[in-house]
Every structure is written in structure tokens, then in C-alpha cells.
Structure 1
Amino acid sequence: MSHLDSYRRQATAGAPPIPELNAPWEARVARPDGYDLHLVHRWNQAPHVAAFWRQAWTLPRWEDELRGQLGGDDVRPVVVGWHGRPVIYAEVYRAARDVVAGCYRARPHDLGLRLAVGELAMTDQGLVRALLPHLADALFEADPHCTRIVMEPDVRNTRAIRSFEAGGFVIADEIMLPNKVALLMVCKR
């Protein structure tokens, strides 16, 4: 029996998992109120994030977005901390239920990952390249049926692409998404 036989029996996948990370990293669900809501909103207003995420939305729209993500089974909003300080906003999603599935042969348990370092002062510190191997391992461990994690950075975001490559992701293709030309990047189990 191959690992794909096990995968085929799991033709539907539940909500994406929240990764359990070891120190100095931590990950938790981003709450749709209070500190988390204001943090996610502020980070997405920052020019270095807004330029590529295009989600410099109002606070009420972010509240609705986070509530919607937590109310469904497609996406989990996550705040990643480093040494006790929140530094990264992430979205862990089921790639087969996302627009990216129209660009490659997504399997039900494939996970997608979007990352943004919120504070400009924390960019270019090697955080993403240091985090990604731990995060990928934690996601694979949390979902034993997942065989691939994908990312889809904007082709213009060369800083992120270099970090994702250094963190273990490989460029698979250039793809067209509704709001950007992106690189499909893959990390296999």
C-alpha cells in the first residue's frame, strides 16, 4: 500500500490545522477582535504588505474576514510569534478549495500558506527562511494525509520568493490568479 492509497481514502479534508511550533516560535489562531484584529489590520495597512497582499481593508472588513475564516473550513488565520513577540501574519488554507486549485492539480489535503512579516523593521532579518522548515514540518505532522504545501507569492515580491526558496520551497510554475501574476511554490513531504 502506498501513501497515495491512504490519501485516496481521505478524499475530503477538514479545516486546515493550526501548526504547533517549538520555541522560539509559536503559532495561534488570530482572533477576530481585540488585539489580534487591530494587529492584523495594522499589518495589512503597512505599505510593504499592502503592495503585495492588496488587503489594506477597513477594520470592520478585517473583522468580517477573520470571523468568516474561522466560521468556515477553508482558511485559518494565524499569528506567528518569535521569542514571544508577534511578527508574522499567516493564512493556512486548503489549496483544493482556493482559487489556486485552478492552476495546478490540487489534492484534497494539500495545504496553502500565505505569510507576511507585519513590522517593516522585522523584514530582512531571516525570520521567514528560519520559520518555514519548522512550519512545514508542523503542518505535515498536523495533517498526515497532506503531501504538499503550496505558496503563491506575487512574481514582483523577490524578497519573499528568495526567503521561501531558502526555507525549502521550490518554484513549480508561473500562474495567473485573479489579482496577480504569481509563482506557484511547493514544499513536498
Structure 2
Amino acid sequence: MKPVSHLDSYRKQVTAGAPPIPEMGHPWQARVARSDGYDLHLVHRWNQAPHVAAFRQQAWTLPRWESRLQEQLSGDDVRPLLISWHGRPVIYTEVYRAARSAIARCYPARPHDLGLHVAVGELAMTDRGLVRSLLPRLTDALFEADPHCTRIVLEPDVRNTRAIRSFEAGGFVITDEIMLPNKVALLMVCKR
């Protein structure tokens, strides 16, 4: 087996597969969100919640979320995940290949860079330090699952100060202010 070199991430001819599914230890667990049943209804409800909808802008209908999840599950660009804490789903996360998304126009994305969208679904679970506790475990697990990945990025809305503080406390550094199709965001980076 050929040894892994982090320089592979810089080579233009290198392509990356689907984003990995992180394996985290207790009390965290991540699993792929299904496009039906409980998972679909939970993702839909969480994205309707005012504290999530204000910044994600995806308070879509149930059929649209079903379509979105089916599309993500059938492709190799995004993995929708439900993250549980002590067995209870608390966070919806999308792990995506940054080089294959709109953010790639805002910084020199490498093929194995990963991006994250993170939302605490229940308002009662916010301000408990969940995100700042999760992020180091999640980034470590993603780096371990993809040895070619050298950077993980976040792009929170500049107005979402609560999330930005949590992301900084979880190990991400603000590198730039960027324009994305639906928001002015901060580019935040966690390096291997």
C-alpha cells in the first residue's frame, strides 16, 4: 500500500471521494440522516425552527427536504448527518467537499478539503456548549477518516455571532469575510 502524503491534497489531478462519515466516541455519535420517516421529519422540523431558519434560510416544505436529502444521499458531494449526544439527536450537520461547492470560488480549495454546516435543532439545547465540545471531536474524526484532508471549513453568516463564538471555541479560526450566493459569511478554517 502506497503511503499517504498530505501533498496529494495539493495536486490538481487528485480527486476526492464522498465525504467520510466520522466515527466519534462516547458521548457523541454520528449517522447518515435518512430521507424518510423520523429523520426526514426531524431535519424538516429543525430547519423550520426560527433560531435555525434565520441563518440557514432552508425552512422548506417537507417534500423539498425529502428531495434534498435524497439528492445528497445519491451523490458524492454532501453527507447529511444526525449527531447524537448521549443517544439523543441534537445536531444536524452536512459534511461536504468544499472544492465542489460555492465556497470554492472564495478561497483556493483543495480536492480533499471538507466543509461543515452545523445546526443545533432544539432551541432548548443551544447555549450549552454542545458545538464547542463537538467540534474538536468531529474534526479529529474527519481528519482520521480522510488522511488527505488538511483543512475543514465553516462559513457562518456574519450576523450569527452565537455560532461564530462556538466555532472559534471549537478550534476554528476566522480567515476572511466572503460573499456566498445567499449571505455574507465568515470563512473559518481548522487545519490538520
- Structure-1-length-normalised TM-score: 0.97
Picking from 86, 95, 116, the partner of 1:113 is 116
Contact 1:10 1:145 in 2 (8 A): no
Structure-2 separation of matches of 1:104 and 1:9:
15
State the match for 1:5 in structure 2.
Answer: 7
Structure-2 separation of matches of 1:59 and 1:9:
39
Structure-2 separation of matches of 1:5 and 1:186:
18
Contact 2:6 2:147 in 1 (8 A): no
Map 1:24-103 → 2, pairs under 5 A: 24-103=27-106
Letter in 1 for 2:159: R
State the match for 1:150 in structure 2.
Answer: 153
Aligned residue pairs, count: 189
Moved runs in structure 1, 4+ residues, more than 2 A?
A: 1-10
Structure-2 separation of matches of 1:136 and 1:148:
9
Q: 1:128 to 1:30 in 2, by over 3 A?
A: same
Residue 6 of structure 1, CA deviation: 3.2
Give the RMSD, CA atoms, in angstroms. Answer: 1.4
Listed one character per residue, the Cα deviations across residues 43-93 of structure 1 (whole Å, up to 9, x for unaligned) are 000000000000000000000000000000100000000000000000000
Residue 5 of structure 1, CA deviation: 3.2
Residue 9 of structure 1, CA deviation: 8.2
Structure-2 separation of matches of 1:113 and 1:4:
20
Give the secondary structure class of the aligned counterpart of 1:154: coil
Picking from 114, 127, 130, the partner of 2:130 is 127
Give the secondary structure class of the aligned counterpart of 1:137: helix
Structure-1 separation of matches of 2:185 and 2:18:
24
Structure-2 separation of matches of 1:77 and 1:29:
6
Query: More displaced, 84-93 or 7-16?
Result: 7-16
Q: Structure 2: give runs of 5+ residues left out of the alignment.
A: none
Q: Structure 1: give runs of 5+ residues left out of the alignment.
A: none
> What percentage of aligned pairs have identical amino acids?
79
Structure-2 separation of matches of 1:61 and 1:44:
12
